[in-house]
Homo-oligomer: A and B are copies of this chain.
Amino acid sequence: MEINELPKLHSDFSVDCVIFGFDKGELKILLIERAEEPFKNFMALPGNFVYDNEDIDGAAGRILRELTSLSDIYLEQLYTFGEVNRHPQGRIITVAYFALIKVKKHILNPQVAFARKAEWYSVADVPALAFDHSKIFEKAYKRLQSKIRYQPIGFELLPEKFTLSQLQQLYEVILEKPIDKRNFRKKILSFGLLVELDEKQKNVSHRAAKLYKFNKSRYNNLKKMGFSFEL
């Protein structure tokens, strides 16, 4: 079917989700493969129309649940894209969301007819996406790079227990630059937000490193008192 033969929809709105994960030292995003026109066979951000009786935040949560079976995911609104010609089927604006998940958790196949499968892509290898989704992805990536410096959101991408090397690697990969190990450790430990566990890595070939946990409730308390996280 040609694009100009598609039925025109009336003025409407959708949500699209940029879902980041961190796996084997790489930053990834979760994409779906479209099984229908427009943009058949293209990869796209997971998204859908918003039901009449559904809040937009609720629609974003639903799309994440349909893909991941998880409901306790870090999710925030990113930006609304509303250029006149952004969608070939009519005047459709989309509210983009930004999500951070721990990739080891189970990803289901998409539960919507227009999506053939879901797949993780390294952010370095993201292909040209359907609609204006490449632009949305770029905006989300910039938001992540900027926000990770002044809010402790990076922990949402790590396993619950992590080493300081894993944490540093996460920052290096997202900020796309090497970080001095000694300064990084000194600074991150100075906040008092990491709990040193009485536990070490298992099944590693090198010397097992200490594991840490992020103390979220302490961060929330400090924040109320005017504390600023800054790396």
Contacts and interface: CB of A to CB of B under 8 A. Distances in A.
B53 A84 contact: yes
B80 A80 contact: yes
A211 interface: no
Nearest to A94: B80
A95 B77 contact: no
A82 interface: yes
A17 interface: no
Nearest to A146: B150
A55 to B, nearest CB: 5
Given A12-B11, A13-B93, A91-B52, A79 B82 contact: no
Interface in A67-111: 77, 79-80, 82-84, 91, 93, 95
Interface of A is mostly: loop
A10 interface: yes
Contacts of A79: 77
B10 A82 contact: no
A57 interface: yes
A147 to B, nearest CB: 11
A31 interface: no
B84 A55 contact: yes
13 contacts: A13-B13, A50-B82, A52-B84, A52-B91, A55-B83, A55-B84, A56-B80, A56-B83, A56-B93, A77-B79, A77-B80, A80-B80, A80-B95
- 7 nearest interchain CB pairs? A56-B82, A80-B80, A80-B95, A55-B83, A55-B84, A52-B91, A53-B84
Interface of A: 10-13, 50, 52-57, 77, 79-80, 82-84, 91, 93, 95, 150, 230
Given A50-B82, A56-B83, 12 more contacts: A10-B10, A10-B11, A11-B11, A11-B52, A13-B13, A52-B84, A55-B82, A56-B82, A56-B93, A57-B82, A80-B95, A230-B230
